[in-house]
Structure 1
Amino acid sequence: MTETSPAAPPPAKPRGFFAALEIDTRLIGMIGAFVVICLIFNFLTDGRFMTPRNIFNLTIQTASVAIMATGMVFVIVTRHIDLSVGSLLATCSAMMAMTQTLVTPEWLGLGLNHPATMPIAILVGVLTGLVIGAFHGWLIGYLAIPAFIVTLGGFLVWRNVAWHLTDGQTIGPLDENFQLFGGINGTLGETWSWVVAALAVLGAFYAIFQSRRNRVLHEFPVKPLWAEFVLGGVATAAIVGLVAVLNAYEIPTARLERLFEARGETMPEGLVQGYGLPISVLLLLLIAFIMTLIARRTRLGRYIFATGGNPEAAELAGINTRLLTVKIFAIMGVLCAISAVVASSRQTFHSNDIGTLDELRVIAAAVIGGTALSGGMGTIYGAILGALIMQSLQSGMAMVGVDAPYQNIVVGIVLVFAVFVDILYRRRTGDKT
């Protein structure tokens, strides 16, 4: 009797709509909460909250915290915490600001707005974040000092190092090329935004195809084809919708005229152009893609989640958890530097209060996004959505006229409630992670 093997595993037995899509119910809950928040504030502001202008501002305000939140996922997954990210952002920002206003013009003779000024400044900032982050990781991993204490010390140290570097002064204006990462001063425009949208849609369908192909190769159950197309359709609608809204935010005529004059051209009569996708948001999307790739497709990602799930078992399995800790905090430091680029370029100058309370916003974004404080579980997209929810709350309350202290009270309540809901969810699903 000859043995035969099926060419592909059969689809799973018929299930409910959401079960067939295999979407995390917490993700659905977060998306639902975000939609409700938008609808409530849109009603309270007489339709101003969901205008293209406000959505544009919301995306660029979210970018800095969301970038750091992607790194905080790795930190919390491995059962650590980082309270120093806001202060580290300030130090990186100060280093880049001094590079642009002192080092390149006076030491290197390049001058502000020289083509080399921006890359040199960013390199200095990234190296600063990398070294400080790796140093934190070394103290935690090799000297066994609790992460809470190390980063609490960093919270105090690096904020004041930033103050010392600038003598407590506001440093600016920053390099014009550097300011392209800030949002309003750097966008792709309508045409290139649609090009990026098309590439993103193709990437989404390719990822769905590859996931299905891998399941078939490993003889795992696959989703129904209609479920794959539904997921692709949802991704397409989200991408196209976002780009359409951002393109709908028109550049003021006076600003458009100045842009044409700067190029030595005359603006055509009646020309209307939209801002399009901000470079800072594109940077966030690229970082999210890279961090998700690390988490799901690399040995480092597997080690991170294995260590978070059971540190003792990870060590017995041969994982160098001490070196892993250094790598995680080094990644966190680099992301703080990139966030410093976005935050300071959006302001067009470095200020002493840059990054203040960002450590709390970043931790809250990761936790609201479903990262378990007990370790072993978390997603990059969840952290970004958590950051977007928090920024929507703060932006909406500011538009309604709620004072800053009350905004922080609401955010604190939302954070505690999100953790409580997450605990109930894990109890209900039997997840003890």
Structure 2
Amino acid sequence: MSDDALSGSKAPTARNFFSALQLDTRLLGMIGAFVVLCLVFNVFTDGRFLTPRNIFNLTIQTVSVAIMATGMVFIIVTRHIDLSVGSLLATVAAVMAVVQTQILPSMIGLGHPAIWILAILAGVIVGVVIGAFQGWMVGYLGIPAFIVTLGGLLVWRNVAWFITDGQTIGPLDETFGKIGGIDGTLGTTASWIVGLLATAAVIALQFVSRRRKQSHGFPIKPFWAELTLAGLMSAAILGFVAVLNAYEIPTNKLARIFEARGETMPDGYTLGYGIPYSVLLLIAIAVVMTVVAQRTRLGRYIFATGGNPDAAELSGINTRFLTVKVFALMGGLCALAGAVAAARLGFSTNDIGTLDELRVIAAAVIGGTALAGGVGTIYGAILGALIMQSLQSGMAMVGVDAPLQNIVVGIVLVVAVFIDIIYRKRTGA
């Protein structure tokens, strides 16, 4: 018996096409809004917005906020909020900068290959400890998360100032700097390999999931719908790789690379950047966080607590310790985001991460995370971060002043929450 017969499907028609795909209407709406946003800015910038160069820059600019947004999903799902993420990022970035420029060189030598690893490890440890401390105050002392993290917003920003004595710390370790993006990419060949492997993995996971549902007697999509989704995802992955590969390294920079090798660059030689290391880090974090949310006991506890805290506690979930875990995870993600942000700049400044708390919360909410708790997705938060960064980058390219950009972002956040409220009332979610 065929898969289509087992699923009870019919040949695709215009009427049942989208229903058969079983796509999340919210996700479709977000993708549609993102596409419209890109097309509008592309028109107003005379075609400069959708160039490979701008898409590459937009990608690496989104990473740090997107990393923190994945953690903010868990925070908001458990009915809390974290207003300190931008300031915490500044603190851990300062720690990592001081460790790799002042402490480790005197201990293991300047330029040691382990410096960047130890610096990031130090930042992650500090971030986790600070996050756990804030979670302890929320979970065990009963202080509202809004107050704890509002205090953290003020405290950690100024702790960062004291760590650096108010100075800009740099230049940072050369290997560490590759995490930032433009100076650290896979190159075209490796990017195609990664793209093909990712495509194969996505298709394999999709059909493994189909077979698992089929073996347990659960409803499944028509086979043509599975093929359509596989084709769409494959096109998105390979198209993304193609765009990043199309952004070519400047000729003078290529010439310097060949010169450093003692070689002469061939006439007409070109080379694309490929996928940045920071994007690979974001993808890895997204996969891990999605697995945690959907496949682990911790994830089930997080969403159960957000759905009904009292029932979760009565069922035996230690909601206080769970709060500590969630905030500690947020702190660790702030450290990784801080590493990406500082590496992209090449140094650590006192104003790094300013207003990131707004961008991170907005990304999570625009991505479908309910402020009432219990509902949220990792991929939605990342798409929300991309929409936010596209909005800001597009306004900057058009020539909108920074204060007006923040006004627009604030309005978008309020409108997104309002739309979320209406959507949940109509769908009963």
Q: Same fold (TM over 0.5)?
A: yes
Task: Tell me, yes or no, if the aligned pair for 1:372 and 1:378 is still in contact at 8 Å.
Answer: yes
Deviations 1:368-417 (A, max 9, x none): 00000000000000000000001001000000000001111111111111
In 2, distance between residues paired with 1:230 and 1:367?
Answer: 29
In 2, distance between residues paired with 1:334 and 1:164?
Answer: 21
Equivalent residue number for residue 359 of structure 1:
357
Equivalent residue number for residue 278 of structure 1:
276
Matched, 1:307 2:301: no
Equivalent residue number for residue 378 of structure 1:
376
1:235 to 233, 236, 247: 233
In 1, distance between residues paired with 2:25 and 2:210?
Answer: 21
Equivalent residue number for residue 33 of structure 1:
33
Residue 422 of structure 1 and its aligned partner are, at CA, apart by: 1.1
Residue 123 of structure 1 and its aligned partner are, at CA, apart by: 0.6
Task: Tell me, yes or no, if the aligned pair for 1:8 and 1:216 is still in contact at 8 Å.
Answer: no
Equivalent residue number for residue 294 of structure 1:
292
Task: Tell me, yes or no, if the aligned pair for 2:4 and 2:222 is still in contact at 8 Å.
Answer: no
Give the secondary-structure state (helix, strand or coil) at the position aligned to 1:294.
Answer: helix
Deviations 1:147-184 (A, max 9, x none): 11111111111110000000000000000000001111
Equivalent residue number for residue 408 of structure 2:
410
Residue 8 of structure 1 and its aligned partner are, at CA, apart by: 11
Residue 190 of structure 1 and its aligned partner are, at CA, apart by: 0.1
Task: Tell me, yes or no, if the aligned pair for 1:133 and 1:331 is still in contact at 8 Å.
Answer: yes
What one-letter code is carried by the residue in structure 1 that aligns with 2:39? Answer: L
Residue 9 of structure 1 and its aligned partner are, at CA, apart by: 9.7
1:11 to 2, 7, 10: 7
Aligned structure 1 segments of 4 or more residues deviating by more than 3 angstroms: 7-10, 12-15
Equivalent residue number for residue 172 of structure 2:
174
Deviations 1:183-220 (A, max 9, x none): 11100000010011011101111221122122123221
Residue 16 of structure 1 and its aligned partner are, at CA, apart by: 2.0
In 2, distance between residues paired with 1:138 and 1:264?
Answer: 57
In 2, distance between residues paired with 1:285 and 1:65?
Answer: 13
Q: Given the superposition, is the C-alpha separation of residues 9 and 137 from structure 1 closer, same or farther in structure 2, using an over 3 Å criterion?
A: farther
Within a 5 Å distance, the mapping from 1:62-141 to structure 2 comes to: 62-106=62-106, 108-111=107-110, 113-141=111-139
What one-letter code is carried by the residue in structure 2 that aligns with 1:264? Answer: G
Deviations 1:44-91 (A, max 9, x none): 000000000000000000000000000000000000000000011000
Give the secondary-structure state (helix, strand or coil) at the position aligned to 1:273.
Answer: coil
In 1, distance between residues paired with 2:282 and 2:162?
Answer: 30
1:193 to 191, 200, 206: 191
2:423 to 398, 401, 425: 425
Alignment: residue pair count: 423
2:204 to 196, 203, 206: 206
What one-letter code is carried by the residue in structure 2 that aligns with 1:423? Answer: I
Task: Tell me, yes or no, if the aligned pair for 2:138 and 2:148 is still in contact at 8 Å.
Answer: yes
Give the secondary-structure state (helix, strand or coil) at the position aligned to 2:174.
Answer: coil
Residue 13 of structure 1 and its aligned partner are, at CA, apart by: 5.7
1:184 to 157, 182, 186: 182
- Bigger Cα displacement from structure 2, 373-382 vs 214-223: 214-223
CA RMSD, 1 decimal: 1.4
Within a 5 Å distance, the mapping from 1:28-67 to structure 2 comes to: 28-67=28-67
What one-letter code is carried by the residue in structure 1 that aligns with 2:27? Answer: L
Task: Tell me, yes or no, if the aligned pair for 1:86 and 1:357 is still in contact at 8 Å.
Answer: yes
Calculate the TM-score normalised by the size of structure 1: 0.96
Calculate the TM-score normalised by the size of structure 2: 0.96
Give the secondary-structure state (helix, strand or coil) at the position aligned to 2:265.
Answer: coil
What one-letter code is carried by the residue in structure 1 that aligns with 2:278? Answer: S
What one-letter code is carried by the residue in structure 1 that aligns with 2:291? Answer: L
Task: Tell me, yes or no, if the aligned pair for 1:186 and 1:278 is still in contact at 8 Å.
Answer: yes
In 1, distance between residues paired with 2:135 and 2:236?
Answer: 37
Task: Tell me, yes or no, if the aligned pair for 2:4 and 2:223 is still in contact at 8 Å.
Answer: no
Residue 19 of structure 1 and its aligned partner are, at CA, apart by: 1.7
Give the secondary-structure state (helix, strand or coil) at the position aligned to 2:119.
Answer: helix
Matched, 1:153 2:151: yes
In 2, distance between residues paired with 1:363 and 1:218?
Answer: 38
Task: Tell me, yes or no, if the aligned pair for 1:87 and 1:154 is still in contact at 8 Å.
Answer: yes
Residue 270 of structure 1 and its aligned partner are, at CA, apart by: 1.8
In 2, distance between residues paired with 1:264 and 1:84?
Answer: 49
Give the secondary-structure state (helix, strand or coil) at the position aligned to 2:7.
Answer: coil
In 1, distance between residues paired with 2:158 and 2:89?
Answer: 12
In 2, distance between residues paired with 1:359 and 1:77?
Answer: 16
Residue 20 of structure 1 and its aligned partner are, at CA, apart by: 1.2
In 1, distance between residues paired with 2:158 and 2:215?
Answer: 55
What one-letter code is carried by the residue in structure 1 that aligns with 2:42? Answer: N
Q: State, as a whole percentage, how many aligned pairs show the same letter.
A: 71
- Bigger Cα displacement from structure 2, 50-59 vs 322-331: 322-331
2:163 to 149, 165, 168: 165
Give the secondary-structure state (helix, strand or coil) at the position aligned to 1:186.
Answer: coil
Residue 268 of structure 1 and its aligned partner are, at CA, apart by: 2.3
Equivalent residue number for residue 21 of structure 2:
21
Residue 248 of structure 1 and its aligned partner are, at CA, apart by: 0.4
2:399 to 398, 401, 404: 401
Give the secondary-structure state (helix, strand or coil) at the position aligned to 1:177.
Answer: helix
In 2, distance between residues paired with 1:61 and 1:272?
Answer: 25
In 2, distance between residues paired with 1:181 and 1:264?
Answer: 26
In 1, distance between residues paired with 2:59 and 2:215?
Answer: 39
Task: Tell me, yes or no, if the aligned pair for 1:136 and 1:326 is still in contact at 8 Å.
Answer: yes
Equivalent residue number for residue 347 of structure 1:
345
